[in-house]
Amino acid sequence: MTATATTADLVAPVLTARAVLLDMDGTLVNSDAVVERCWRRWAARHGLDFDEVIKVVHGRQGYASMAVLLPERPMEENYAENREMLAAETADMEGVVPVPGAPAFLAALTGLGLPHALVTSADVPLSTGRMAAAGLPLPDVRVTAESVGASKPDPEGFLKGAAALGLDPADCIVFEDSEAGIRAGQAAGMRVVGVGPRAGRFGPTVHVDDLTTVGVADAGDGSIRLTFG
């Protein structure tokens, strides 16, 4: 597909790939309550409008969001505050739940032995904590904040995920919820399934409300067949 499709527009759209690369926050895990609590405190500390701050932070590493929001500030200060932000988010798991359909979706991928990887802007402690809080298993292959030198929307994370699986980027499909993540997947040359209310307006290949409408099957040659709706 070259045009954006939604489950309302198409009858059972189908995509095939050799692997799927999965964002975490907003895609597998609903952590919005924690994100909003932590970034609301940060916005108040810096005298910024929280409604404008929250438009920026989804999908990016914290230091990258801070650089957008405080463009004149030295990056060293962003890195320092990002460490504080990660610690605060890791200590707060209240309200962290799976995105609807995520448990069955991951179980299908794992049960069928189909290649998949987690590609997240969270670091190892935060991603481990949030997946556990949501009751979700961690994929064997994971690309976290420690693994990359550039935050989404840079495609580095997704390209590293494909490489870790031994696959060409064009053979992978990204699942993402945010503008930064969707842009990263597109820049990596991958098709993108947009998940949730934030995703539809950023031109994913397919858009779904959540993962309950996503079907997973082995196409018979080791590739993954995904159906929607």
Q: Which of 23, 123, 171, 177 is the catalytic position?
A: 23
| Tokens (6 digits) for 81 | 């505050």
**HSE-up of residue 208 (Cα within 13 Å, Cβ side):** 26
Let me know if 210 is a catalytic residue: no
Query: What 3-state class would DSSP assign to 127?
Result: helix
Bridge partners, residue 207, by sequence: 6, 194
Round to whole Å and give the CA distance between 170 and 74: 37
φ, ψ dihedrals at 144, nearest 5°: -115, -175
φ, ψ dihedrals at 84, nearest 5°: -65, -40
Q: Which of 25, 154, 177, 210 is the catalytic position?
A: 25
Let me know if 92 is a catalytic residue: no
Q: Which residues are catalytic?
A: 23, 25
